[in-house]
Amino acid sequence: MDKIGVFICRSCGIAERLNIEELEAKAREQGVNSVYSAEFLCSKEGKEFINSKIEADGLDAVSICACSFRVNYDVFNFGKVAVDRVSLREGVVWSRFPMGDSGEILDDSTEIASGVSFKDELMALAKDYINMSIAKLRSYKLPEPFKPEEELSKTILVIGGGVAGLTASLECAKAGYDVILVEKEKELGGFAAKMKSHCETKPPYKNLVEPVVKSLISEVESNDLIKVYKSATVTNINGGPGLYNVKIKQGGKEEEVRIGAIVLAAGFKPYDPTKLAHLGYGEVPNVMTNVEFEKMAAEGKLVRPSDGAPIKSILFIQCAGQRDENHLAYCSSFCCLASLKQAKYIREADSEAKAYIVYEYMRTMGIYENFYKTLQDDPGVFLTKGEVVSVSKGENGKVKVVVDNTLLGEKVELEVDAVVLATGMVPVTADEAVLNLEYRQGPALPELELFYGYADSNYICFPYETRRTGIYAAGAVHQPMTIDQAIEDARGAALKAIQCLTAIEVGHAVHPRTWDFAYPEWDLKMCTQCKRCTEECPFGALNEDEKAFPIPFITRCRRCGTCFGACPQRIINFKDYSIDMIGSMIKATEMPEQGYEQYRFMAFVCENDAYPALDMLAYKRMNLPVYFRVIPVRCLGAVNVSFIKDAMSKGYDGIILLGCKYGENYQCHFIKGSELANRRMENVQETLQQLALEMERVSIDTVAIDEIEKLAEKTKEFAETIKGYGENPFKGW
């Protein structure tokens, strides 16, 4: 950008602690002629003032030196004019204070280094931020929407014709979208269509109702916008959102269709009961699973499988092969409700029949507590916490069950006509090829580690997204859930599929950087085919050609910059976020001479968790060492090793990288960014060795958005550690 304007706000305490005239002079030193200051730039009058100067001076870029870029982003929008934000409020005057030994805030005139006051350092910080902003805008190019040459499809593919798939199909059709529904069975409905009944999906949540799936099937089959393929499978998917080419096989014939977005609602299968011999399955007659009992009840046969005798007594064993690291480590959500429901079947069929339910924990999600209470009040239903010790053959075809650690505090022995094992859900994707993606990183969705085939995503922030942009899991293939949860989940997935189509039509990112029009671009002339970008992309946005050059699928891309951070050749850049831009920002800062203990630290901070935490630290007026310069990054995965080298060569005494947590309970918005940055520390160490600098001068740490105190302490500790090593010998060169 050539014509840059700098606008400095005087309000919110900025002019009280900073010399605005000096800041204006610093901006002019950088060759910027349009430099202005005013009260409350975020006000109506403030924005009108900026607009008037943009028009009068013919500006194509503006640096707004006021509050954090995370606030007033809608106010400081000037159309085709590039905007950068300098956080003088949160980043300088609200978070940098001279501190006494007892933690008290001292006067800004306090001397903190030889002949240097805190005020001097505060001004140096503000000046550096303005210099960095100007350098950034000079490298900045306005992003342009991605518009593929091929026509985008708005048809939504739904895989699976159970409750979730039917609901998703109807919701998409109601919004006016064409839908293709693929079901592998001969009829629609999934497991729910084989049920006798299920719990209400609306208040009062106390009764049993006819399966809602029957009405859903009728609505789908009569909807002109929904094309249904039965006894069909998806054999191949290639391309990306808006541009998927999907092959559907039905009756020996294969058809290819163009698809915009995909809802995966393939459902679940019961946990393999043959692994539950210790609970009598396959060993003791009249021991069955909850699924087998449900099918029997739907056929009107509440009888013992062994001899067809009416069931007068039945015992349900909860968590059969669940919440057990040897089987399924998780709770399947629906099993307690299913056992309560099936106990009600027996009681309704015969008022003299008895039902026993043995559980470790009784879990009836949400308002289904109401249904649980109705069964508690039934005198023929006996519930007890306990541990099943043994299941064996009794007399006359009965099943003998020994239960220990009961609420009564003693061992109980029961003989019943039948035993039902409450087995859990396993997603069909655990061992079935459903999507058959033609992606470099494999044909299936990435799975949660140690989580039995459930699709990996960020369950905290993005519950519907998978790690494959444009593909949204719904229902029991997404996670274990009840029918009413599956309906709600399907509606959410349908909405996300529609949002995806809208985003790619406009040409911006889908999530989490929604409204980001920039996308990575490759200068392949310098590519060495190292494959780091294709291997490390968390979202499978890259394939490779026969020579191992990357093939980008931009509509799959979430703009995290992981590829940008991975590339050793530095040939991947965004128009508004480039290697040259960050390098120019680092070089634009002013480095004091060595020997005066004027330390300088650089912090590369993830914009998703760590940067908001810095803002909250400022709102609480907590302290961040004045020596830190902060550069927000899309993700720690987008930190290129060249940033470290540039900062150290410039003379920075230490560098800290602050990102989201990763590991078993990760919260990284881009799944692997923090983890990849941690792995790349080996490359950072090589850089430090080349510069003959201590390894400790570069540190990486994780921080949650609410760990404000930890953030303050961590930066303080890092500063003290680096001071122990002394100043960077490159300082002042």
**What is the CA 647 to chain-centroid distance, rounded?**
31
Helix (H) or strand (E) holding 65: strand 61-66
Domain ranges across the chain: 1-142, 156-268+427-506, 272-423, 521-572
Per-residue pLDDT of 83-134, as tens digits, reads 999 999 999 999 999 998 888 999 999 998 888 999 999 999 999 999 999 9
At 364, the amino acid letter reads: T
Helix (H) or strand (E) holding 711: helix 708-725
Spatial distance between the Cα atoms of 193 and 137, rounded to a whole number of angstroms: 60
> Hey, what CATH class is 1-142 in?
alpha beta
Spatial distance between the Cα atoms of 28 and 13, rounded to a whole number of angstroms: 23
SS3 52: helix
Residue with token string 């996670």? 479
Spatial distance between the Cα atoms of 695 and 722, rounded to a whole number of angstroms: 11
Residue 350 in this model has a pLDDT that exceeds 70: yes
Residue 458 in this model has a pLDDT that exceeds 80: no
Per-residue pLDDT of 156-168, as tens digits, reads 999 999 999 999 9
Bridge partners, residue 313, by sequence:
354
Per-residue pLDDT of 397-409, as tens digits, reads 999 999 998 887 8
Residue with token string 């009598």? 280
638 pLDDT band, cuts 50/70/90, is: very high
Tell me which of 453 and 65 has the higher pLDDT.
65
- 507 backbone dihedrals φ, ψ, rounded to 5°: 105, 20
Q: What is the mean pLDDT of residues 551-570?
A: 95
Q: In angstroms, what CA-CA distances link 80 with 49, 62, 233? A: 17, 11, 47
Residue 266 in this model has a pLDDT that exceeds 70: yes
Q: Which pLDDT score, from 0 to 100, does residue 664 have?
A: 66
Spatial distance between the Cα atoms of 160 and 183, rounded to a whole number of angstroms: 5
C-beta of residue 128 within 8 angstroms of C-beta of residue 629:
yes
Q: Which pLDDT score, from 0 to 100, does residue 665 have?
A: 65
Per-residue pLDDT of 508-553, as tens digits, reads 999 888 889 999 999 999 999 999 999 999 999 999 999 999 999 9
Check residue 455 and report its DSSP letter.
B
Q: Which pLDDT score, from 0 to 100, does residue 488 have?
A: 95
- Assign a CATH topology to domain 156-268+427-506: FAD/NAD(P)-binding domain (3.50.50)
150 pLDDT band, cuts 50/70/90, is: very high
Beta strands in 272-398 (DSSP E): 287-289, 313-317, 354-359, 381-385, 387-393
At 727, the amino acid letter reads: E
Within 13 Å of residue 555, how many CA atoms lie on the same side as its CB? 28
Residue 655, token pair as written in the block: 């560098």
The listed range with the strongest mean pLDDT (232-241, 429-438, 587-596) is 232-241
Closest CA to 476 of 212, 260, 268: 268
693 pLDDT band, cuts 50/70/90, is: confident
Share of the chain above pLDDT 90, in %: 84
- 484 backbone dihedrals φ, ψ, rounded to 5°: -65, -35
- 547 backbone dihedrals φ, ψ, rounded to 5°: -100, 10
Closest CA to 86 of 630, 655, 604: 630
Per-residue pLDDT of 487-498, as tens digits, reads 999 999 999 999
HEC string for 522-550: ECHHHCCCCCHHHHHCCCCCEEECCCCCE
Q: What is the mean pLDDT of residues 576-588?
A: 96
Closest CA to 99 of 713, 593, 600: 713
Spatial distance between the Cα atoms of 657 and 701, rounded to a whole number of angstroms: 6
Pairing of strands 381-385, 387-393: unpaired
Q: What is the mean pLDDT of residues 58-83?
A: 96
Query: Strand order of the sheet with strand 244-250?
Result: 232-238, 244-250, 253-259
Sequence-distant (6+) residues with CB within 8 A of 337 are 199, 364, 365, 368, 371, 372, 482
Residue 219, token pair as written in the block: 């609505």
365 pLDDT band, cuts 50/70/90, is: confident
When the candidates are 3.40.50.170, 3.50.50.60, 3.40.50.920, 3.30.530.20, the CATH number that belongs to 272-423 is 3.50.50.60
Per-residue pLDDT of 660-687, as tens digits, reads 888 766 678 888 888 899 888 888 888 8
Spatial distance between the Cα atoms of 493 and 473, rounded to a whole number of angstroms: 7
At 13, the amino acid letter reads: G
Closest CA to 264 of 470, 65, 458: 470
Helix (H) or strand (E) holding 562: helix 562-566
C-beta of residue 129 within 8 angstroms of C-beta of residue 86:
yes
R_g of the chain computed on alpha carbons: 31
For the ranges 44-53, 356-365, 442-451, the lowest mean pLDDT is seen at 442-451
Residue 450 in this model has a pLDDT that exceeds 60: no
Spatial distance between the Cα atoms of 545 and 714, rounded to a whole number of angstroms: 44
Q: Which pLDDT score, from 0 to 100, does residue 697 have?
A: 94
Residue with token string 């009681």? 347
Same fold, 1-142 and 156-268+427-506: no
State the Cα angle at 464 between 612 and 664, rounded to 5°.
65
C-beta of residue 154 within 8 angstroms of C-beta of residue 260:
yes
- The C-alpha torsion from 608 through 609 and 614 to 619, rounded to 10°, is 90
Pairing of strands 261-264, 471-473: parallel
Q: What is the mean pLDDT of residues 15-28?
A: 98
Residue 572 in this model has a pLDDT that exceeds 90: yes
Spatial distance between the Cα atoms of 194 and 289, rounded to a whole number of angstroms: 15
> Residue 640 burial by CB count (10 A; 0-12/13-18/19+): exposed, middle or buried?
buried
HEC string for 435-482: CCECCCCCCCCCECCCCCCCECCCCCCCCCECCCCCEEECHHHCCCCC
Spatial distance between the Cα atoms of 204 and 201, rounded to a whole number of angstroms: 9
When the candidates are 3.40.50.12780, 1.20.140.10, 3.30.950.10, 3.30.70.20, the CATH number that belongs to 521-572 is 3.30.70.20
Across the chain, what does the average pLDDT equal?
Answer: 94
Spatial distance between the Cα atoms of 8 and 92, rounded to a whole number of angstroms: 13
Q: Which pLDDT score, from 0 to 100, does residue 563 have?
A: 95
Share of the chain above pLDDT 70, in %: 99
Spatial distance between the Cα atoms of 501 and 260, rounded to a whole number of angstroms: 6
- 173 backbone dihedrals φ, ψ, rounded to 5°: -65, -40
Q: Which pLDDT score, from 0 to 100, does residue 101 have?
A: 85
307 pLDDT band, cuts 50/70/90, is: very high
Beta strands in 489-593 (DSSP E): 521-522, 542-544, 550-552, 572-573
- 86 backbone dihedrals φ, ψ, rounded to 5°: -110, 120
* Long-range Cβ contacts of 297-302 (<8 Å, 24+ apart): 297/196, 297/342, 297/345, 298/194, 298/195, 298/196, 302/345, 302/346, 302/349, 302/350
Q: Could you give the maximum distance between any two Cα atoms of the chain, in Å? A: 99
Q: What is the mean pLDDT of residues 612-626?
A: 96
Residue 449 in this model has a pLDDT that exceeds 90: no
Q: What is the mean pLDDT of residues 251-275?
A: 96
